[in-house]
Amino acid sequence: MKKLIALVSTMAMAVSLAGCSSSGNDQSAASASAGVSGTFEGTAQGKGGDVTVTLTLTDSKITDVSIEGKDETPGIGDTAMETMAQEIKDSGSIGVDTVSGATVTSDAVLEAAAAALTSAGLNPDDYKTAVSAATAAGDVTEEADVVVVGAGGAGMVAAITAADAGKSVIILESQAMGGGNSVRSTGGMNAAKTVYQDDNDFDEAAGVEKTLKTAAEKYADNETITALAKTVQEQWDAYQADPQGYFDSTELFELDTMIGGKGINDPELVKTLCENSADAIDWLDTIGASLHNVAQFGGASVKRIHRPVNDEGKTVAVGAYLVPILTQNVEDRGITVHYNTTANKILMSDGKAAGVQAEQKDGSTLTVNAKAVVLATGGFGANNAMVAEQNPALDGYITTNAPGAQGQGIVMATAEDVGAATVDMDQIQLHPTVHVADDGSANLITEGLRGDGAILVNKEGSRFTDEVGTRDKVSADENAQTDGQAWLIVDQSMYDASTVIQGYVTKGWTVQGDTVADLAAAMGVDADTLTKTIDDWNTCVANESDPDFGRTSFNHQLEGTMYAILVQPGVHHTMGGLKIDSSAEVEKADSSVIPGLFAAGEVTGGVHGANRLGGNAVADFVVFGRIAGQSAADYAK
């Protein structure tokens, strides 16, 4: 239950003032309680902890607002607090809109603001009149070299790149805050042949040889996979004859991505992704983002995912880390960003993209005439109707997607006058570890935990899959278990090393036990079965062999205090989207390009095939975001 904090004395004052003004309910707040000035606080329970709103009042009018909630989700809750603080200050009302994607935090802000007014001896209802939409100032037209639609990872990377190429850039974002699905990414970014990869105590042989075996047994008729496997085999043979450092290659990265995508990926796009991945890591360094901690994720033969760490050396969620840095870089370059502005039409001139038309929050139309258009609107994972249309089996599934992932970019680009083609639209990925919180929200649980040594057990207490297999395989195995759910188990040493896990515990999403028997009781599973499962897993780690499920990653034995979180599959990524070439130009069905139209990120298709590997989404939006931004800037010349 949300808690309100207010002083008894001010509550008494509120009652007194309410009695004095009971006959004037239609009076303004200022006239009903004239002369109240000072600073007043209220607190309510948010997503992760207390949210405190501090209101500065001058003659009973709100003149300043500050909001603090240190445990709210980075990049989501904190952004919502910043947005709402400004809106409350500007309007003088607490009747402002909640922020999509941060409903719990938004509700806490409004409740805490009401508590602050109560503590000032004022009636919060006098300040709850919804702020009427501003009278449209009239339709507006702006000019830019490049207009970017979407302020998620791909959009901001493209905008930064185009601006650094000397072009004027405008970004349009449908939501009240940027970040899109990117800010929700918890893992990291895949990249091959970086200086941050090293061998540590990792046995590359098991992963590489398993991948080569899979290529030979399942994809012998796929020319791209066969050719890549031949190259990797030659590289692997040479490495074994003369080991030098850590083994990885762009070809192995391509092979993993193609196999993960079941061979239907566009080979040229995959090659572009992998060959530019190491340089993308270096580019992130130049804008203040360091992804230097390397681990293994599902579907990767070797350790390849690059993650951020905090000042204490603990891994942190990559999206919440990157998005604020990208946002700051956008601001530093003076790039104009229009929030709450939904693009609805690509403007065409002589068969070329020439700008975008959009609807602003006040109902007015914003037209941006531009020499080049970059679509970075994300996928359609939050649009259940569109998901069900493309894949009826997924109708009604929970989703990890941000509210803005509605597929607008795909709809605009495929309009008859634009003529863009799409690929792989029915390929929609389930993520196997999604936790449904008490408030009904679906929360992504990072795949990195499994890469670091976590295991999955069913409601009977037994393992049932290779935890670092591809997401489609793990999700399918999970769906076959009781209630289609499973428990993800980590231990104290993993908790100590990860602020992400610590956040799950703080939010109350986990159960825990100092012994396996205690954990089993908290999970509601048989203690003997869970004890045997943990013992068997620790034996697998000791022997670096998993005879039951073929796992090849053995980083960690589970010991001491353990934590478990209940998870289930949820719609996570739409692999299908607009057809692009390796320059991020949008194509028609005949593979001819649409001049001036570019796209990057989840709005596109072809990169991931039938299944996206964890860590490839961040690689996708950084690599192709840079390419789209540069291509658009070059075209704008």
pLDDT band at 29 (very low <50, low <70, confident <90, very high): very low
Q: Provide the residue count of the chain.
A: 637
Instruction: For residues 93 and 127, give the distance between their C-alpha atoms in angstroms, rounded to a whole number.
Output: 5
To the nearest whole number, what is the mean pLDDT of the chain?
Answer: 91
Angle between helices 250-260 and 223-241 (to 10 degrees): 140
Q: What does the alpha-carbon distance between residue 386 and residue 380 come to, in Å, rounded to a whole number?
A: 7
Question: For residue 42, which phi and psi values (nearest 5 degrees)?
Answer: -145, 150
DSSP state for residue 153 in the 8-state scheme: H
pLDDT band with cut points at 50, 70 and 90 for residue 174: very high
Tell me how crowded residue 512 is: count the other CB atoms within 10 A of its CB: 18
Residue 555 pLDDT > 90: no
> CA angle 300-406-346, nearest 5°?
110
What is the structure's pLDDT at 135? 56
Percentage of residues in the chain having pLDDT higher than 70: 93
Mean pLDDT of 159-182: 96
pLDDT above 90 for 202:
no
φ, ψ at 491 (rounded to 5°): -120, -175
Span 488-493, mean pLDDT? 97
Asked if 150 and 356 count as a contact pair (C-beta separation under 8 A), the reply is: no
Q: What is the pLDDT of residue 576?
A: 98
Q: Which residues pair with 148 in a beta bridge?
A: 171, 374
Rounded to whole angstroms, how far apart are CA atoms 198 and 37?
61
- Which residues are known catalytic residues? 471
More confident residue, 5 or 464: 464
Residues 6+ away with beta carbon under 8 Å from 631:
583, 584, 585, 598
pLDDT tens per residue across span 209-259:
999 999 999 999 999 999 999 999 999 999 999 998 899 999 999 999 999
Enter the pTM of the model.
0.82
Q: What is 429-571's CATH topology? A: Flavocytochrome C3; Chain A, domain 1 (3.90.700)
Half-sphere exposure of 570 (CA within 13 A, CB side): 22
pLDDT in tens, 101-129: 788 899 999 999 999 999 999 999 999 87
Q: How confident is the model at residue 200, as a pLDDT? A: 64
pLDDT of residue 203: 79
Q: What band does 4 get if pLDDT is binned at 50, 70 and 90?
A: very low
Residue 14, pLDDT > 60, answer no
- Which whole number is the average pLDDT over 426-440? 93
Q: Decide if pLDDT at 337 tops 80.
A: yes
Spatial separation of the C-alpha atoms in residues 178 and 281, rounded to whole Å = 22
CA distance 434 to 184: 12
Classify 38-127 by CATH class: alpha beta
Per CATH, the architecture of 159-186+315-408 is what? 3-Layer(bba) Sandwich (3.50)
Q: With bands split at pLDDT 50, 70 and 90, how would you rate the model's confidence at 298? A: confident
Average pLDDT over residues 91-95: 92
State how far the Cα of 488 lies from the Cα of 444, in Å rounded to an integer: 12
Closest CA to 319 of 73, 596, 574: 73
Domain coordinates in residue numbering, the chain: 38-127, 159-186+315-408, 189-307, 429-571
Instruction: Give pLDDT, residue 34.
Output: 55
Give the pLDDT score at 245.
86
For 188-197, write each residue's pLDDT tens digit.
Answer: 999 999 999 9
Q: Rounded to a whole number, what is the largest CA-CA distance in the chain? A: 91
Kind and range of the H or E run holding 564: strand 562-574
> Between 70 and 129, where is the model more confident?
70
